[in-house]
Structure 1
Amino acid sequence: MSDQQSKPAQSQSSQPGKEHEMHPEPKVERSNAIGPKLKGKVALITGGDSGIGRAVAVAFAQHGANVVISYLDEDKDALETRKMVEDQGQKALIIKGDVRSAVHCNELIDKAIGEFGQLDIVVNNAAKQFPKENFEDISESQLAETFETNIFSFFYISKAALPHLKKGSSIINTSSVTAYRGSDHLIDYASTKGAIVSFTRSLAKNLASKGIRVNGVAPGPIWTPLIPATFSKEHVDEFGTDVPLGRPGEPVEVAPSYVFLASEDSSYMTGQFLHPNGGEIINT
């Protein structure tokens, strides 16, 4: 928001102090406080075809951003998300492929730049989870697929995107409440989500001097396709009822966190996580 790193030496003789005597006076309003927060921006969202990714794509479009939607193989969902973005008057590019591949991740960025000529926001959101009640039942192949999807892709995408990001750009990583409280039946998944927290905090420090902010969102139980695709009917019936608000959240309730972190509203935040989790208290 400001290029000034420090303020001129000054003092006042009494508290709480007088703002009109300060030089410069504190900034208390933004020129873009009303209207689209992401006008003219281009965002890439992995796992953007459905669930949280779709809600974020639509919210970004509502705030004036064009969107690149990365997805695995859910063609119908991806086409619908593209339509939803276009219905907001914005452009959407959908790209199919597996983000476990570093080659594909590089191609994603190349196609985004080829289509829009810029990239301002990166949302690393793609994830998989495979519940196992017994730790010893986590196979090597499952472990590899979970880590390659949930954290390796974050490295690949961020690294490929970095040459195109500039001061004011934003990287937003999707973690999970499980990173903070653990999960007895999603040990490998929770481990990747914990890695995302450390990745976010570390990359934020690394890129701070470039003016590129790196933050994250750690949702609680959110009603997305990943839930019925993961759990039994009985588990789905009880999903999300154990949080203080007593219900699972909707993707639309999570998307504003991403808009905030992508916009100038969060210009003094980096290395931080927001927690739309239904009221569960966790150690941040």
Structure 2
Amino acid sequence: MEDLSRWKEGFEVSWSTTPTRLVYRHSRLDRAGSIVALVVLALGTVALFVVGLPVPLVGIAGGVAALLGAFAVVVNRRGVEVDEHQLVVHRVLSSQSIEWSDIAAYYHPRGTTRLGLASIIAALGGLLLVLRGNTSRFSLILESKSGKRVGVLDNVHPQTPGSPPLDTLVRERVVGQLSPDLRTVFGAGARVEFGPVSLSRLEGMIFKRKRIPLAELGDYSLVQRKGRLVLSRGKALGVDPAVRWDRVPNIDILLTLFAELKQAAPTPHPAW
């Protein structure tokens, strides 16, 4: 179990030192899977022709191979491009973009996976799905001011040597952009909202419907358990309240402010 209250803002990535455009793509094995599927189906088409099947069947098999080959070419464009102004996610049949200045919040997914199209194509060729079981996951979900969401793939790798991991780069940029405004609200004593959790320098914390006065905040910790953010009170009896991890926006900033609020909370004096 990890005590998330100790999390600190300490990103060392400096955007000014990175190239003006970074490209992140899937690994060679992921991209090769779609090509392997094409080759297998092409060889299968040749085999059908050699054994002397009727021409229509050969034509159908060749058409299927050509169609999947086109998909293989498209699959190889999957990835993420990042520059000073925006982030663009290229998927198999579409692309999504979001400008840094338009980001209002970000979320950490629970870590669930979904079957990638490259795996399906490779499964038709009988190879990649069996050998690797490739999946596509999101490391972050970015939300714009209008509510549009863009998922940042976590299984892509930088194409420029020495580039930072995509997750680190995006978090550094987004946290650095959102943190000053949230800190201004927090410093003024107003309540800062993080979905089902809120913090206030004057009132303490609200976790779902549970109110915790500032004087009692030192007894609590925020921990992660099985995809949930849990408000733990050590060895106290009872069930600790929890919320789903992916429903708490800007969670890194929340953890930082929570740690600072605990340090600033008055120390309770024992009654004599």
Q: Which has the higher contact order (CA 8 A, sep 6+)?
A: 2
The structure that is strand-richer by fraction is 2
User: Which TM-score tier does this pair reach, normalised by the shorter chain?
Assistant: under 0.3
TM-score (norm 2): 0.20
